[in-house]
Structure 1
Amino acid sequence: MNRFRYSSCLRNRNDVLSRPVIPVLDERSDGQRPESLGCSLGFNPLDFDLPSCLSFDTAVCDRLLTAQDDRFDSCWTGFNQRYRLSRDIFIHAFLKPSLFIDRINGIDQLFSKMNQPTTHPGPALILIDIQSAFDDLAYWGGERNHPEAEQRASELLNLWRARRFPIFHIKHCSTTPGSPLHPSHPGNAIHPLVAPLPGETVIEKNVNSAFIGTDLKAQLDQAHITELVIAGLTTDHCVSTTTRMAGNLGFETSLVDDATATFCKQGKDGQLFSAQLIHDTAIASLSGEFAQIVTTRELLERWKDQEVLS
């Protein structure tokens, strides 16, 4: 009886797999080898969980589509854990190689899930510049809005930790020696209410945007994060700039109104604009165009009953 042996000719995990996958017929009276499938897999393989070659009676193969076979299923399970290839397609590798070839002609699409996380990582919480320096009201103009913003951000942080969602602490490190946000000053420290735990990501910046001069986008892309929730200080400066860039970069962005705050500003003619007015106009400019504006309560309600993702 003919037996199919399916060999994958893998190189080591750091090389590009470029040699063809070859079906080999054993125990044929004419000793002929079938032609190579001629498919070149253009990706860097992870460890391959299958034996280097597999062997099944063709009669067994005929039963695989409708019945369970422990030998086959154990091999397919290992393969599927790595490559997310359906059981039927894997069966065709043994049962109908020509059909299998058709399915792997679009190999990039077929293996596109290989580099995707098995569960959605959830939205990333981006806490911007919630630092002790902003406790000094006199330095920043004498008046600010949303005095509870740090507390609201703390509530979000506790929720994100409970849900095991990704968290990014953004820390402004001023290059101006006299600034309370300069690394040499105690005000540079992240506010105690949102102090990062060991293992949580802290990204330092020295301009308004958390994306400029940092690896924030690279980290988000590597973790397959597409949704951001932004909170922090100050609304019209670093929060606004980061939110605008997040929207321009294609992230689905939410900005938490009551977990952000700013200070009063003086106009060019000496006119004083209240912190709430500065905040409200900044929020209005961002709403819809760059982000969805939400509240802490809305986010707590949204996620409180959601399943925790690992």
Structure 2
Amino acid sequence: MAGSGSAHLRPPGQAVLRAEDLVVEFPADRGRSVHAVSGVSFDLLPGETLGIVGESGCGKSTTARALMQLPPPLSGSVRLDGVELTRLKGEALRRTRRRLQMIFQDPISSLNPRRRVRDIVAEGPRVWGVGGDRVDEILEAVGLDPATAATRRPHEFSGGQCQRISIARALVLEPEVVICDEPVSALDVSVQAQILGLLEDLKERYRLTLVFIAHDLAVVKNVSDRILVMYLGKTCELAPGSELVERPAHPYTRALLASIPRSGLGLPPADQLISGEPPSPVTPPSGCRFRTRCPKAAPRCAQEEPEMRSLGGDRWVACHYPETETETETGTAPA
């Protein structure tokens, strides 16, 4: 049975990927722990793109690595087509990872500088004995000419081209789910648009399911069917992309949207919706973790942690005083 933090999950069996109540902690000084991910839950239908967004240090990339079991979460569940990954070890886990591939943030450092492109892309198929004849096809699919690119090394390519190589390396193994961990944050804006368009084309061509992680909500909203907003290891809001952008319910989501230049949403300036720096994940605030920066914080926010609550349809928010359409129109806070 789903816990209070996973009430928004679909019934088991519908989703290709299902993460439930993920907890990831790392040791800190004086016997304390870094609370990197604290009870995050989400699922993905086949062919869906889930965007995960939040400030640096909110736990996005740690969540991505927990899905890959790198390292496994301290507690919680990760199921791929119903198979519980947290219980797999050794060879069984390695074989399952073939179906769950990852594209990393830094396209240059993620590639072996001593190897030629053909060897980089063909390494996975050689290990698993699958897809070895698809290297040229995949290179062409990501916009690289096999005749000229395959024999060159990563340092001979631009950052955008290296990311295309990274994408090819992930896709050649025919994965079901691809986790994109800030795949365009290290690229120029014009190159970002090219890579985003490429991912959309490849998603349709190869029937992929994507987890797309970024700190820039302006990027995430253009590629995601649904968006999950994280703050200090917790889920703030989860909603279809268009609805989250047009009707943000959580104060933190509103602040992120207000920080987008020329968003056209008529929101107050971001510095009126959020202030100060995020608290330490070693000693997170009691109750709502966003309360120390939230203009709507009340005593209840310090005493009681908000659970995910439905706003109707597929919209969910973890806030005691979520923004409502009435409030947005009148400028008043809920009683």
Under a length normalisation based on structure 1, what TM-score does the superposition of the two structures give?
A: 0.26
Under a length normalisation based on structure 2, what TM-score does the superposition of the two structures give?
A: 0.24
Structure with max Cα Rg: 1
Structure ranking higher on relative contact order (CA contacts 8 Å, 6+ apart): 2
